[in-house]
């Protein structure tokens, strides 16, 4: 079985319009969240990590961001490969502006046309875990030999439906995202377009070793301890890695009072000795279906260039876990986890090639 | 080429007139505020599993769901609600197709790999799923609300047997009573 390399990556998020811009912003301590105002019973301002790129037309903005990110990932030569679009909100922002109809296939066709894509296209929506599930699907296709190249494209752009829905469920923070924090009070949502180019042909610094997704119906809007545990075990088994060989875990931890606690307990049970942990949610917000791809794009770059996200808030001692204040030495293998709506718990393992 | 034996199916397109009553009997109670699309999906999936004769879905089986338009009705309702207020929380949840995966997992007392693929065709869904599924096979569904609704499900297990004359599958032949096996090749799915 040929190794599956992370041959390219691209990112647009609140930290900047490229991986390099995002790293530069992180070096300077991060970006300031903007504010969005929502109507009704939960009316008020909520912090939001939007992409710093203005364009009045939703579709034009999306097109420019998608093309920019795909180009950064080096997608142009593999346009006859597999394209896996990962999203939880499709182009609902354009629907809200009456700029399009809600139609899954039209959304897929639109993005394929923007990229002049001639290969297969699939749209994966498993809420927040969409990108990681797209990555697992790409891995399966590449392992089977059905394709040699794949592009996982996470797309999560401005829309009122997601913000309003999360506000209605009382999941949003009014202040800031504080992963595993003592004062954590909810999520801060964000935008991202992120691309991960996978290849069995092009060698690269990182390879995708394996992963797993576990859906558990115990708690449809959140995580369960047993599923976190099982997700870790399955991801390790699929990767051929032992728990003590994981040098770092990029956690979901978005600052949710309940979910952070569940994740912490699950990780403590899954790892006899807990590896160092990192969360990118305070830096870029929770970018929903794009978060898996966006956070892997950023984290691999951080590890290569020695940049580490600042963590200025106090940890919740009762959780029994904490975020690494500085980059761990010699990270050769890390696990990246996203937990989401629909009882979905997904994790992948990447290692240096 | 991978061959799958069809071990169970539900071909409800449209579903029978009493499908809601049948679903309530399978669940032990009427489903509450999960939305019409999710109810259709649950009806088909549980009927298919019953048809397969399996009491439960194995933990290493794959649950894969696709749809042409998915939760568009609930999404339209939420957009309407959001003209001057926040959406109702449960209505917002109905816009998330992955909620059906969690509902099914809970009802089947199952934990495993499940996913939702938006758009495309049932054949493309089968191709993607076949790359991800192991020896326990998959429960594969295609659910839509348009035109009276449809809930099409197959319980598929990989097998060695191949049919005499596989033909390139259309959605109609994949989801037909005549097909006994499905064949997945590099370029698409075939039925036989």
pLDDT tens-digit map of B123-166: 999 999 999 999 999 999 999 999 999 999 999 999 987 655 56
Question: A121 touching B, CB under 8 A?
Answer: yes
**Distance from C-alpha of A290 to C-alpha of A42, rounded to nearest angstrom:** 26
**Distance from C-alpha of B176 to C-alpha of B170, rounded to nearest angstrom:** 10
Query: Are A175 and A224 part of one and the same domain?
Result: no
Nearest to A215 among B76, B112, B124 (CB): B112
Q: Find which of B27, B59, B76, B114 to mutate to test the A interface (most A CBs within 10 Å of its CB).
A: B114
**Distance from C-alpha of B93 to C-alpha of A276, rounded to nearest angstrom:** 34
Tokens of B98: 């992955």
Nearest to A127 among B72, B79, B98 (CB): B98
The answer, yes or no, to whether residue B187 has pLDDT greater than 70, is no
Buried b (16+ CB within 10 A) or exposed e, A29-56: ebbebeebebeeebeeebbbbbbbeeee
Q: Find which of A112, A169, A343, A346 to mutate to test the B interface (most B CBs within 10 Å of its CB).
A: A343
Query: Are A42 and A157 part of one and the same domain?
Result: yes
Enter the DSSP assignment of B29: S
**Distance from C-alpha of B142 to C-alpha of B152, rounded to nearest angstrom:** 5
Query: Are A35 and A164 part of one and the same domain?
Result: yes
Tell me: the pLDDT tens digits for A308-326? 998 889 999 999 999 999 9
The answer, yes or no, to whether residue B186 has pLDDT greater than 90, is no
Query: Are A16 and A71 part of one and the same domain?
Result: yes
What is the predicted pLDDT for the residue at B171?
80
Query: Are A217 and A303 part of one and the same domain?
Result: yes
Enter the DSSP assignment of A350: E
What is the predicted pLDDT for the residue at B2?
86
**Distance from C-alpha of A188 to C-alpha of A175, rounded to nearest angstrom:** 8
What is the predicted pLDDT for the residue at A314?
96
The total number of structural domains in chain A stands at: 2
Q: Which residues of chain A have pLDDT under 70?
A: none
Q: Do B68 and A125 touch (CB under 8 A)?
A: no
Query: Are A193 and A216 part of one and the same domain?
Result: no
What is the predicted pLDDT for the residue at B172?
80
Of the residues A199, A218, A234, which one is the last residue of a structural domain?
A: A199
pLDDT band at B167 (very low <50, low <70, confident <90, very high): low
Q: Do B79 and A226 touch (CB under 8 A)?
A: no
What is the predicted pLDDT for the residue at A134?
98
Query: Are A258 and A173 part of one and the same domain?
Result: no
Of the residues A199, A221, A250, which one is the last residue of a structural domain?
A: A199
Percent of chain A with pLDDT over 90: 93
Contacts of B105 in chain A (CB under 8 A): 215-217, 343
Distances (CA, A) of A85 to A138, A255, A301, A329, A331: 11, 27, 22, 34, 29
Nearest to A96 among B79, B95, B113 (CB): B79
Structural element, H or E, at residue A156: strand A149-156
Residues 65-84 of A with CB under 8 A from B: none
Query: Is domain B8-158 in CATH 1.10.260.40, yes or no?
Result: no
Rg, C-alpha atoms of chain A: 18
Beta strands A82-86 and A149-156: pairing type?
A: parallel
**What strands lie across the sheet with A34-38, from one edge to the other?**
A34-38, A44-49, A189-190
Q: Find which of A1, A138, A344 to mutate to test the B interface (most B CBs within 10 Å of its CB).
A: A344
Nearest to A146 among B72, B84, B186 (CB): B186
Query: Are A221 and A177 part of one and the same domain?
Result: no
Query: Are A193 and A67 part of one and the same domain?
Result: yes
CATH code of the domain covering residue A259 = 3.40.47.10
Residues ≥6 apart with Cβ < 8 Å to A158: A50, A58, A93, A191
Angle among Cα A286, A10, A136 to the nearest 5 degrees reads 70
The answer, yes or no, to whether residue B56 has pLDDT greater than 80, is yes
Query: Are A126 and A45 part of one and the same domain?
Result: yes
Neighbours of A353 (CB within 10 A): 13
Query: Are A36 and A86 part of one and the same domain?
Result: yes
**Distance from C-alpha of A36 to C-alpha of A255, rounded to nearest angstrom:** 19
H-only helix segments in chain B:
19-27, 36-52, 72-81, 89-94, 98-107, 122-132, 171-174
What is the predicted pLDDT for the residue at A171?
94
Tokens of B35: 């939305």
User: CA nearest A218: which of A163, A269, A262?
Assistant: A262
Q: Do A342 and B96 touch (CB under 8 A)?
A: yes
Contacts of B89 in chain A (CB under 8 A): 165, 168-169
Contacts of A141 in chain B (CB under 8 A): 128, 131
Closest-CA residue of chain A to B59: A214
When the pLDDT of each residue in chain B is averaged and rounded to a whole number, the result is 92
Of the residues A172, A199, A226, which one is the last residue of a structural domain?
A: A199
Q: Do A164 and B98 touch (CB under 8 A)?
A: no
Query: Are A143 and A30 part of one and the same domain?
Result: yes
pLDDT band at B83 (very low <50, low <70, confident <90, very high): confident
Domain range for A325: 206-352
* Average pLDDT for B40-51: 98
């Amino acid at each position: 079985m040929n190794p599956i390399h992370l041959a390219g990556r691209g990112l647009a998020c609140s930290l900047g319009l490229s991986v390099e811009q995002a790293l530069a912003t992180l070096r300077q301590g991060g970006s300031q969240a903007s504010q969005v105002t929502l109507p009704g019973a939960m009316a008020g301002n909520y912090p939001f990590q939007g992409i710093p790129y203005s364009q009045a037309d939703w579709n034009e903005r999306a097109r420019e961001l998608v093309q920019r990110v795909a180009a950064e990932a080096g997608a142009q030569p593999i346009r006859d490969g597999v394209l896996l679009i990962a999203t939880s909100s499709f182009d609902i922002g354009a629907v809200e502006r009456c700029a399009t109809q809600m139609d899954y296939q039209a959304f897929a066709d639109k993005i394929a046309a923007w990229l002049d894509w001639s290969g297969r296209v699939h749209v994966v929506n498993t809420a927040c875990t969409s990108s990681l599930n797209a990555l697992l699907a790409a891995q399966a296709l590449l392992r089977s030999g059905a394709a040699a190249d794949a592009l996982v494209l996470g797309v999560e752009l401005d829309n009122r439906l997601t913000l309003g829905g999360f506000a209605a469920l009382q999941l949003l923070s009014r202040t800031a995202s504080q992963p595993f924090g003592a004062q954590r009070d909810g999520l801060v949502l964000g935008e991202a377009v992120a691309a991960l180019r996978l290849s069995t042909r092009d060698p690269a610094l990182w390879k995708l070793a394996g992963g797993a997704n576990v859906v558990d119906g115990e708690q449809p809007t959140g995580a369960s301890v047993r599923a976190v545990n099982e997700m870790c075990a399955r991801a390790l088994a699929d990767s051929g890695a032992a728990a003590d060989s994981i040098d770092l875990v990029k956690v979901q931890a978005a600052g949710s009072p309940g979910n952070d606690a569940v994740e912490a307990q699950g990780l403590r049970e899954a790892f006899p000795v807990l590896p160092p942990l990192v969360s990118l949610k305070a830096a870029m917000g929770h970018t929903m279906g794009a978060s898996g791809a966006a956070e892997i794009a950023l984290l691999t770059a951080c590890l290569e260039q020695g940049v580490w996200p600042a963590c200025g808030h106090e940890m919740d001692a009762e959780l029994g876990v904490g975020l690494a204040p500085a980059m761990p030495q010699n990270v050769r293998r890390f696990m990246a986890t996203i937990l989401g709506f629909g009882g979905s718990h997904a994790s992948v393992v990447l290692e240096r090639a | 080429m991978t061959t799958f034996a069809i071990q169970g199916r539900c071909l409800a397109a449209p579903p029978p007139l009493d499908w809601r009553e049948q679903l309530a009997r399978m669940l032990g109670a009427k489903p509450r505020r999960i939305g019409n699309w999710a109810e259709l999906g649950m009806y088909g999936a549980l009927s298919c599993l019953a048809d397969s004769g399996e009491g439960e879905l194995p933990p290493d089986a794959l649950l894969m769901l696709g749809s042409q338009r998915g939760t568009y009705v609930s999404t339209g309702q939420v957009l309407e609600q959001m003209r001057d207020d926040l959406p109702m929380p449960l209505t917002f949840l109905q816009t998330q197709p992955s909620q059906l995966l969690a509902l099914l997992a809970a009802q089947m007392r199952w934990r495993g790999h499940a996913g939702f693929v938006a758009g495309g065709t049932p054949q493309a869904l089968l191709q993607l799923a076949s790359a991800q599924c192991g020896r326990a096979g998959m429960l594969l569904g295609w659910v839509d609300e348009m035109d009276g609704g449809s809930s099409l499900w197959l319980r598929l297990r990989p097998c060695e047997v191949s049919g005499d004359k596989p033909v390139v599958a259309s959605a109609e032949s994949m989801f037909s009573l005549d097909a006994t096996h499905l064949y997945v090749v590099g370029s698409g799915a075939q039925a036989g």
